[in-house]
Amino acid sequence: MTEAGDLGERRRAREIDRLRRESEAISRLLKRAHLDGVRTDIEAVKAQLVEAEAILENSSKDGD
């Protein structure tokens, strides 16, 4: 009976370890996805800044 109990405990421990590893992997994937979103947002802001700089340059040339 003790051996069966030990096997059950080991099985539960392995399952908990497996779930913990899966949880950590999912967490890493979510962080990576969030960082990809941030990167996309930064690239969009850079494009807007380039456009704003071009407009400012053209307006300063028109004022000269």
Q: What is the pLDDT along the chain (64 residues), one digit of tens a residue?
A: 568 789 999 999 999 999 999 999 999 999 999 999 999 999 999 999 999 999 999 988 876 6
How far, CA to CA in Å, does 33 sit from each of 19, 26, 43? 21, 10, 15
Per-residue pLDDT at 62 = 78
Per-residue pLDDT at 2 = 66
Largest CA distance in the chain: 94
**DSSP three-state, residue 64:** coil
Per-residue pLDDT at 32 = 94
**DSSP three-state, residue 1:** coil
